Amino acid sequence: MIKSFKHKGLEKLFLNSDASKINQEHTKRLRLILAIIHKAKIVEDIDFIGANLHELKGDRKGIWSVTVRANWRITFKFENGNAYILDYEDYH
């Protein structure tokens, strides 16, 4: 279950279907990813085809990443069946 967001536009999309702060080319995929993350009981539930789910390394260890498109990712922490601090970023 999604518990918190870092990216306010992502939060608006999830809570109010307001995509005004999101790249319009990413909206459909972001909705799919958010729904999957919200339903996930374990982090592996988020590993769908094309997601490229992986844990980041170094100073971002403990943060998980899912591909949206090209360099764009949703990143988050996942603990005890809950997702926290969801961000929408190009960290490459």
pLDDT beyond 80 at 92? no
Which tokens go with 33?
A: 């990813």
Sheet holding 72-79, edge to edge: 54-55, 64-69, 72-79, 82-90
pTM (predicted TM-score): 0.95
DSSP state of 43: G
The CATH number, out of the four listed (2.20.25.570, 3.30.2310.20, 3.90.550.10, 3.40.50.10860), of the domain defined by the range 8-90: 3.30.2310.20
State the average pLDDT for the chain: 97
Residue tagged active-site, from 7, 26, 54, 92? 92
Task: Determine whether 92 is an active site residue.
Answer: yes
Which tokens go with 14?
A: 């999830």
Name 54's bridge partners: 65
Distances (CA, A) of 24 to 28, 62, 69, 81, 92: 8, 29, 12, 29, 20
Domain boundaries, the chain: 8-90
For the stretch 29-52, pLDDT in tens is: 999 999 999 999 999 999 999 999
